[in-house]
Structure 1
Amino acid sequence: MEWTANGSLTVLPAARHPELLAPAVADALARLDPDVAVTVGVAEINPGLADTAAFCEQYGVAMDASANCVVVKGKRGGDIRFAACMVLATTRADVNGVVRRRLDVRTASFAPMEEAVAHTGMEYGGITPIGLPQGWPILVDAAVASAPEVVIGGGIRGSKLFLPGRALLALGGAELVEDLARAVG
């Protein structure tokens, strides 16, 4: 497999480099359909550059090739529901509209950092949809799903994953959501 959105990074097959992944990510990758798993690459990065803008600038990766995994927390009465939203870095998830309706909750907001880290077992700035808790919906914006390749977190701040956008739809709980994201600005 050849990855093209890598900028100045060397991308390796992720399944062969679990040391570059959070444990939950490595476990989930091992359970993925082999035809999907082989499309996932990983590159080691400076953990201080995990945030999207800094990462893209330092390594020469286009912002529109980067996808963010946004953890959303919704509430309805005493019921709390979490979801992950995959949107291009050049957009923002429509949390108060599309996501709130999809989760069937009265309020929805970005999950606090401490909660997102505790529930996912991943590092903030590296949270990825691969390896999320079972039962979490993974809402994938159409622009992400149709991208030939996206760069996402590796579960730790020290790596990034490279894969076709459509590969995200092979994850348990993943669903394509039209108009999940809104343009920034």
Structure 2
Amino acid sequence: MWQLTDHAAADRPDLLADPVAAAIAAWKHTTPVERLRVAAIDPELADTANFCEAYGVPLEASANCVVIAARRGGEARLAACVVLATTRADVNGVVRRRLEARKASFAPREEAVRQTGMEYGGITPVGLPEEWPILVDAAVVAQPFVVVGSGLRRSKLVLPGTALAELPGAEVVDGLARPA
């Protein structure tokens, strides 16, 4: 199957960004910990296409988490969208309307890194600030297992798609993404 050696995420905080490790430590009290796995990878292969090719993970089992800056009037707030690697978030349509924003765009890299406490290319929905909305495409939740970032470029989380719907602030949205 996949060419990953995974471990219980709660047992390997060294493979997790600090906010991710804290979220998993809290999450394990409500979610069976064996469902939350982490695998070390080559950080040079962290980008989705390279990762999937190198580790035999189909694109349909890999999910990307993108940070969105939503603006209305003079106010801006951040949110996250989680979509399969075979798709792209409908930022100017579904996402903008769901966040009740006049304008929505990808957050600048530096802001996404600073606000999440995670490395660019490893940002994950696990461990995001609690006030952030997390929009998860229904196709992600339908996956038996999905690979997402760990907050670090040198590892990936492996968990059931349904687990992402359990995150604080998560909302499952049909049609959040469109084919790439």
* Same structural fold, with TM-score higher than 0.5 when normalized by the shorter chain: yes
- Distance 1:176-1:87 versus aligned 2 partners, 3 A rule: same
* Equivalent pair of 1:129/1:138 in contact (CA under 8 Å): yes
The corresponding residue for 1:149 is 145
Aligned to 1:61: 57
Q: Work out the CA distance in 1 between the residues paired with 2:109 and 2:49.
A: 18
User: Counterparts of 2:156 and 2:13 in 1: how far apart (Å)?
Assistant: 12
Q: Give 1:35 deviation, angstroms.
A: 2.6
**TM-score in terms of structure 1 length:** 0.94
Alignment partners' CA distance in 2, 1:110 and 1:119: 13
Instruction: Give the superposed CA RMSD.
Output: 1.0
Secondary structure of the residue that 2:83 maps to in structure 1?
A: strand
Identity across matched positions, percent: 63
Q: Is residue 175 of structure 2 the alignment partner of residue 179 of structure 1? A: yes
* Secondary structure of the corresponding residue to residue 4 of structure 2: coil
Within the candidate set 6, 14, 33, 1:11 is matched to 6
Using structure 2 for the length normalisation, give the TM-score: 0.97
Over 3 Å counting, the alpha-carbon distance change for 1:92 and 1:34 in structure 2 is same
Distance in 1, matches of 2:108 and 2:31, equals: 35
CA deviations over 1:52-93 (Å, ceiling 9, x no partner): 000011111111100000111011111101111010000000
Alignment-mate amino acid for residue 92 of structure 1: R
Deviation, structure 1 residue 135:
0.7
Asked if structure 2 preserves the Cα contact closer than 8 Å seen for 1:72 and 1:82, the reply is yes
Aligned length: 179
Is 1:72 equivalent to 2:71 in the alignment? no
Structure 1 gaps, min length 5: none
Deviations 1:5-60 (A, max 9, x none): xx111011101000000000000001114434330100000111110000011111
Runs of 4+ in 1 over 2 A off after TM superposition: 33-38
**What are the within-5 Å matches in structure 2 for residues 90-129 of structure 1?**
90-129=86-125
